[in-house]
Chain A
Amino acid sequence: MEQAAQAASGNGLKLTLAWAFVGIPLTWGVIQTCINALQLFK
């Protein structure tokens, strides 16, 4: 039980870092694509 509680308490930071690690490059790629795609409607 104690181990589970410890694991759960560390999860918040781990989750934030893990999702930021994959989310930041992906968001950058999406923004770059949207900027380029605007050319289509100019």
Chain B
Amino acid sequence: MSFLSRDPTIAPAGYSRWLIPPAALCVHLCIGEAYAFSVFNLPMTKLLGITQSAPDDWKLTDLGWIFSIAIFFLGASAAVLGRWVEEGGPRRAMFTAAICFGSGFMVSAVGISMHALWLVYLGYGVIGGIGLGIGYISPVSTLIKWFPDKPGMATGMAIMGFGGAALVASPASVWLMSYFNTPSHIGVAETFVTLGVVYFCFMMVGAWLVRVPADGWKPEGFVAPVQAQKLITTSNVYVYEALKTPQFWLIWCVLCLNVTAGIGVLGQASAMSQEMFPGKVTPLAAAGFVGLMALFNMAGRFFWASTSDYIGRKNTYFCFFVLGAILYAIVPYTGSIGSVVAFVCAYAVIFSMYGGGFATVPAYLRDMFGTRYVGAIHGMLITAWSMAGIFGPVLVNYIRQYQLDHGVASAQAYNVSMYVMAGLLVVGFFCNLAVKAVDARHHMAARNLDLAA
């Protein structure tokens, strides 16, 4: 399988580095479909009853586990396989991700046809989740190597695809389901097969297109800094050595807190907008609100990561935590004055920073731990996302329910949640403040670097 090994992926002289972001986008635009998975939930509760749920049909609570399992395996596979991805090169990783993600849909389609939920858990949750994890980290270090002058912008472009994928997947999935739908059959299985094939092919284009730069390559006119700047190292830290540094765990907390604040609201965005503005925001308008937030989530990934190349990663996260805490604290006020516009504007900025947090972190890690193992270290950091995926929704949902149980009106039931989210961001601010340069004793010696290479 020489096509998959690292050597054939070394770029020939003259190869444009601007071909790497579309290669990365081919993968991220597919795996980001996970954010749109909820469009299948309702149809999958009517697979037997067709027009309405039959007693033996799957319940929404059971279906919710599919996404949770996928996100768990995303984090686990990124953490466990990060070094394998780093050492085997991006093509092998993208190919593996394409196989896993595509076959995850196929296995799930079989599960839907047989009405066996465990097969859907195994397919989309486990196999697809592993594809998500490998695919997510596969282009990161390659992009950083191609764009040493703009690492934030480069990784921002790829991770923007993950945020934007739902914008494509959501309407496309709805259209496919309506295409395959018949009066006696809900076309979810056929939609899964189609998506599996299309996503596999799309991701393979990325695997074919991706290249790693030749040793010693640098962009024209770029002069690598010889001396480390205050928060940007010129050394490298070995992947497992990074775990022994406080910087890794501080950045882990920074990501976890930033994501917890966003992801908790993301899952409730539709219901929250309708409950906070009863009579003003209809279900259709709420769907528009969710879409708009996805748009800002995507745009924020590119905007904030690119901005971090100019103002620094630490300052970028300071913006997230200060601005985010203020905006979360303001949201209940927008509800009390009944201003939908102010509510939407506040959340637009909040979700741009939620996405920005994901997109800026690879460059933050590069600054702290060097380029050599940044992909593998990023893989281990993704566990923060998995944790946030559990904490965020649980916090928002339980606090809301507690408020309702204690007689608070539904329009005000989210207020405490918003203040808690603001508090989490204040904690994140102090974690970010504590990030200092990695101690030199953790750096790899030049000899070890050669051996590792």
Contacts and interface: CB of A to CB of B under 8 A. Distances in A.
Do A and B assemble together?
Answer: yes
A3 B25 contact: no
Interface residues of B, number: 36
Interface string B14-26: 1110110011011
Interface of B: 12-16, 18-19, 22-23, 25-26, 29, 161, 164, 167-171, 205, 209, 281-282, 284-289, 291-292, 294-295, 340-341, 344
17 contacts: A5-B14, A7-B12, A11-B14, A18-B19, A18-B209, A21-B22, A26-B25, A26-B167, A29-B170, A30-B164, A32-B171, A36-B288, A38-B288, A40-B344, A41-B340, A41-B341, A42-B285
Interface string A1-42: 101111110010011001101100110111011101111111
Nearest to A18: B22
Given A4-B12, A39-B285, A15 B18 contact: yes
A24 B15 CA distance: 23
Q: Which 6 A-B pairs have the closest CB atoms?
A: A29-B167, A7-B14, A29-B168, A4-B14, A4-B13, A18-B22
B15 A37 contact: no
Given A7-B15, A15-B16, A36-B287, A22 B29 contact: yes
Contacts of B286: 40
Given A4-B14, A29-B164, A42-B285, A19 B22 contact: yes
A26 B29 contact: yes
A18 B168 CA distance: 18
Contacts of A42: 285
A26 B161 contact: yes
B288 A37 contact: yes
Nearest to A9: B14
Contacts of A8: 14, 16
Interface of A: 1, 3-8, 11, 14-15, 18-19, 21-22, 25-26, 28-30, 32-34, 36-42
- Most chain-A Cβ atoms within 10 A of its Cβ — which of B26, B171, B294, B340? B171
Given A38-B288, A40-B286, 14 more contacts: A4-B12, A4-B13, A5-B14, A7-B15, A18-B19, A21-B205, A25-B29, A26-B29, A29-B164, A32-B167, A32-B291, A33-B291, A39-B288, A40-B285
A3 B29 contact: no
A33 B23 CA distance: 24
Contacts of A1: 13
A40 B19 contact: no
A41 B289 CA distance: 10
